[in-house]
Structure 1
Amino acid sequence: MSLPPTDLLHRFGLSAPELIAETARAIVWRVRQKTGTQAALKYYPAGHMGNETSGLAYLERVEGAGAVRVFARSSDSVVMEWLQGPSLGELARTQGEKTADHGLAKVAARLFAAEVCADGLLSVAEIMAPLRDACFTAPEVREAQSIAWACLDKMQRGAAESVALHGDLHHDNIIHTAQGLRAFDAKGLAGPRAYELANAFRHPRGCHAFAADAQVIRHRAITWGRVAGCGAKEQLRWAIAKLLLSMLWSGQEAPQERALLRQMLRVAEKGLPG
């Protein structure tokens, strides 16, 4: 579909559509608003947003504080701020990962500071529940599963505060615009703060050697834990649990992910503050 339905453009007062991306779930065009500014129009041919609904609700509540702005939406489409610039992932791959890690932490801090309401957002406990019945073969993966169970138990006991989360915050989901860093592609979750940067431990994409370095893992656990307001040990445990969840979703225990998991477990065994 090279052009959006005509009524869709009229509905939001948009013009000059330029196809940017098309997937099985959604189509994205760069468009022009009545004010002359550019925007992104995302259309869902199925007539609904599916599991992206919670993420858009989160972005609306954040209102641009470190994330893309949502200008308008309906049941099958959304108009958002057009983000121009490289992702932190791109910058990491071309200019070095440490600066990108720092930028990621800054965005997470801004999102936490927004203190938006978590009501109605998808629960982290719900998306992690399948880990309880998952069957893994590798010894280090089974060891990680026990850590994931402990994280789940703590959350379900109410021992960890549940807050609104972007839910998929990592380097490739943050754009470095002329106006500053902006996160996008939120999942919109409600859960412990330590979950927010948990997925970033296996990123940026294409920087596996960096992510699997023991000193990097330790530094991330300490510094990102401070951003989340928890100890380094707690932050790393959630990173281990999230990596395991990603492995479950992919349906495989890939060698690269197993190597990262082993290194994370070694760092955890050597001891971390908190």
Structure 2
Amino acid sequence: MTLSPALSAAVAHWALASPAFVTETATSVLYRVDHADHGPAALKLLKPGAGDDEAQGGAMLAWYGGHGAARVFGLAPDAVLMEWLPGETLGDVARAGRDDAATLLLAEAVERLHARRDAPPPELTPLRRRFASLFRLGPDAWPEKARPLAARATAIAQDLLDADAPAQPLHGDIHHDNILRSGDGWVAIDPKGLIGDPAYDYANSFQNPEQADALVLDAARVARHATALAGRTGLPRRHLLAWAVAHTALSGAWNIEDGTPFAHQVAMLPLLLADYEAG
């Protein structure tokens, strides 16, 4: 295959062999490569203009040191060389009918990521900055029927960000398909590198896994998921739901800005708000 300049540079820098294209996203391209010391490895190349999320994410992944996250073998400004994880994701577990087990495994993975570490973390993005799109867009950008939901969710997000909550380093994009099997355990990939309320790292799991709307868009599942997370983590159930509401509105705002579908978030918000408002 003809190698791009970025791929050629990474192959030479880390003495890699046999690069094979795996997938491409809006911000990166992933290859499977062979490394003399580590065998199969994953090479993630960031596209120009990928943004701070991706650049900080690689540094954050390295900062975890393989504890709860994929091991990093090499780090460059526009590339990450990490362990190859060909196995199932927690999304696969949930979609196979074992959602309750996936919830507990997800909570365990997040707890490992949140463990105290001696070394200082890399530069991190505050949650208030992370939520800029939600406040910039405002409820009027949503479809008319969804505006009351968006307005309530925005107010909840504002209250959460104004609260004097303890702040700690956060993965920032915990969802079922970002947690993969590694040997007998589970590890996270693709952190965003945020800082803020630890409960935020559970928020995205409410509207996931992907490709499982029949599972996720269900009031009983929302209730069961919130109860299981609260029981496992000791975090207040309503507080977890508040962050789930806020993040679902944020992800909807991102999709509105990008011109991509946001029907999932519109359907998810009333389920989350109903449980949250029930107290």
TM-score normalised over the length of structure 2: 0.86
Which residue number in structure 2 is paired with residue 210 of structure 1?
215
1:120 equivalent in alignment to 2:129: no
- Structure 1 pair 36–236 and aligned structure 2 pair: CA distance change class (3 A): closer
1:266 equivalent in alignment to 2:274: yes
- Structure 1 pair 241–182 and aligned structure 2 pair: CA distance change class (3 A): same
CA apart distance, 1:181: 0.6
Q: Structure 2: how far apart are the matches of 1:165 and 1:106?
A: 15
Aligned match for 2:167, one of 162, 165, 190:
162
Query: Matches of residues 228-243 of structure 1 in structure 2 within 5 Å?
Result: 228-243=233-248
Does the CA-based 8 Å contact 1:41-1:80 persist in structure 2?
yes
Q: Structure 1: how far apart are the matches of 2:183 and 2:266?
A: 38
Structure 1: which 5+ residue stretches go unaligned?
A: none
- Structure 1 pair 253–145 and aligned structure 2 pair: CA distance change class (3 A): farther
Does the CA-based 8 Å contact 1:117-1:163 persist in structure 2?
no
Does the CA-based 8 Å contact 1:13-1:33 persist in structure 2?
yes
1:130 equivalent in alignment to 2:124: no
Structure 2: which 5+ residue stretches go unaligned?
A: none
Number of paired residues? 267
Query: Matches of residues 78-227 of structure 1 in structure 2 within 5 Å?
Result: 78-115=80-117, 117-118=120-121, 120-136=123-139, 137=144, 138=146, 139-154=148-163, 159-227=164-232
- Structure 1 pair 39–221 and aligned structure 2 pair: CA distance change class (3 A): same
Which residue number in structure 2 is paired with residue 250 of structure 1?
255
Does the CA-based 8 Å contact 1:164-1:190 persist in structure 2?
yes
TM-score normalised over the length of structure 1: 0.88
- Structure 1 pair 145–179 and aligned structure 2 pair: CA distance change class (3 A): same
Following TM superposition, the consecutive aligned residue runs of length 4 or more in structure 1 with deviations greater than 4 angstroms are 47-50, 226-229
Provide the secondary structure at the position in 2 that maps to 1:113: coil
1:70 equivalent in alignment to 2:72: yes
Does the CA-based 8 Å contact 2:43-2:81 persist in structure 1?
yes
What's the CA shift string for 1:169-202, capped at 9, x where partnerless? 0101111232411110111111101100101110
CA apart distance, 1:204: 0.8
Does the CA-based 8 Å contact 1:47-1:75 persist in structure 2?
no
Which amino acid is 1:265 matched to? L
- Structure 1 pair 38–114 and aligned structure 2 pair: CA distance change class (3 A): farther
What's the CA shift string for 1:239-274, capped at 9, x where partnerless? 100000001000078443222211111111222xxx
Does the CA-based 8 Å contact 2:56-2:122 persist in structure 1?
no
Does the CA-based 8 Å contact 1:2-1:19 persist in structure 2?
no
Provide the secondary structure at the position in 1 that maps to 2:137: coil
Does the CA-based 8 Å contact 2:203-2:247 persist in structure 1?
yes
